[in-house]
Structure 1
Amino acid sequence: MSGLRFVDVCSGAGGLALGLEQAGFEPVLLLDNKPVACETLSMNRPRWNVLEMDLLDFVPDEHPYTYDVDLLSAGLPRVKSSATAGRADTDEEEQLLKAAVLLAYSIQPRAMIIENVPGLVDAAAFEPLREFVRKELEHLGYRLHWFVLNAADFGVPQDRKQGVVVALKERHSDSFRPPVRTVDKHLSVGRALRDSMAARGWRGAQAWAARAVAVAPTLVGGSDNRGGADLGPTGTKAAWARMGVNGGALADVTPGPEADDHPGLIKLTDAQAALLQGFPAEWRFAGRKTARYRQIGHASPPPVGKALGAALVEALRG
């Protein structure tokens, strides 16, 4: 079997779609409601069919080429726990998750991936959502697999846990096995960024890399409506500081010789953040610095998408 086809919704900067492409899938449609994300997708893959539209407004009947694809994938905005219930954006996030599930009625893929917060898999606060997903997809003949993956186990230099739901039509379900880790040793921030830190002549790059021996804390993209580009909340910034990184802002360029004259915490660039998210160095991001970083922080790491895609290829062939 070749030419496995998929539809990807809430595509963002394309992390999940890129990983699936690397596993052998070909997209027939990528959908996102943010112009800058659609520009990023088209800039990197001009041949991809990118549609700028809100998922809640998407009508598959108007795009019949999406019918009967092998896979429907959705790297959705993070659903919040019951602790933040009542927030308007929380309601929207749940609506998007439900809309993605209901697409299976018309698209009828052989398999489906929903990627979200780890709590979606087993936290009590998410049981109503899990019950919705089970009820709707099992009614259509899918069998569900729930599990949590950590991107660090797939060569991404970041502690990033993701809750995953994989649904397959019953005839394929028994052949599916969740991805197993692909690295024996986690890739540290220092090893991942050493070359880029030295690229402009910073003599302290090697010493810094030897200090940054842990994986990165989880990158967060922050709100689309407020705040600038930083590497996370207070506790996360403290973890960055222990690795010699100022987590309060991003730099425009990597350190140069001037950094040796002013020792202290260095700042990462958005391109380095992309490396920590598992994007290849050649993947470009549209927009200004803050917009680029938000896309990166919200993305699904491509190596995790590749591992999920490979597991699905095996199941669909089996």
Structure 2
Amino acid sequence: MHDLVQPVLTIAGKDIRDAVNDRFVILITAFLLLASLVALAVAAIALKGDVATYAEAKAGLIALGKDASTIPDPAFYPLKLLRGFVEHVEIIGAIIGILIGYRAAASERGRQTLALIVTRPIAQWQFLAGKVLAGTAIISSGLVLAFVVAGASVILISGVMLGPEDIGRLAIVMSAAGLYALAFFLLGFVTALWAKKLPNALLLAFTVWLGFVLIAPQIGDTLDPDNQVAGGVFKQLQIAKPQQLEILQSFSTYETIRNGIEVASPTKHFERLSFAILGIKDTYAGQPLMPILAEKTSDLVWLLAIALALGLLLFARRLDPNRLSKE
């Protein structure tokens, strides 16, 4: 067993050390943190103002003789502040995944060592597994740092503490973010391994990124009639849920096409899952975690299926040393 695992760990360790020495990976991770913190700070300051307003109003009522126990506590949902953070993870996290995956293959091809490696007495799966293990570790480290900073910032800026369940929700979303970024890592790695010319690989990977991260979700949101009015058309018109379903049945074909465009995107699945678990979408704010997880299992399964499909694609194809030299 040691002889099987040791080459994997050796390759992974080498890639991790190279990534630590590569300032570019550190810089784009820092950019994710900075962009997310700016969005988070704006929302957190607004929440802090709401908390202060409530405290002043409560103090005023108590001063007038109101019994403090009869004053209802407002429902503050600090995890709602992470909307901008999640949206940045959707875009920048996918870019980081692609670049780390591309670099994992390009670093070997650029030094013209990849063709040599696959002819050495090491199984192809060990080489690929080492690369994927390193990429997973690098991505996970960056996301753990980002989510810890985001959670701490919510507390420090807004003044609202996070409970154990809030931390658990953050951990679930962080895990989903890791799976999401891993899918794009595999995309960048596969294209860089197989393309005859490395620039073409990066172009192809970012074309896929553009289609599935930016275009497909935007088309789905734009074509959704309920998104055309703040809060939703149904909510503004106070239409009950049964009537909503009846109305939607009249547009079933249109809705099927629109939703199909949305669900083709792993970004949309990650967003739906994250917005529900964190209570960013009003429908799920204050709701118990387990029913939300049960409802959103399909989104998690989609993310897992996409990552597995790319992984199987990677390991199923035989590497050809004659095509791996730098061109």
The answer to whether the superposition gives a TM-score over 0.5 is no
With a CA cutoff of 8 Å and minimum separation of 6, indicate the structure with the bigger relative contact order: 2
More strand by share: 1
Larger Rg: 2
TM-score by length of 1: 0.23
TM-score by length of 2: 0.23
More helix by share: 2
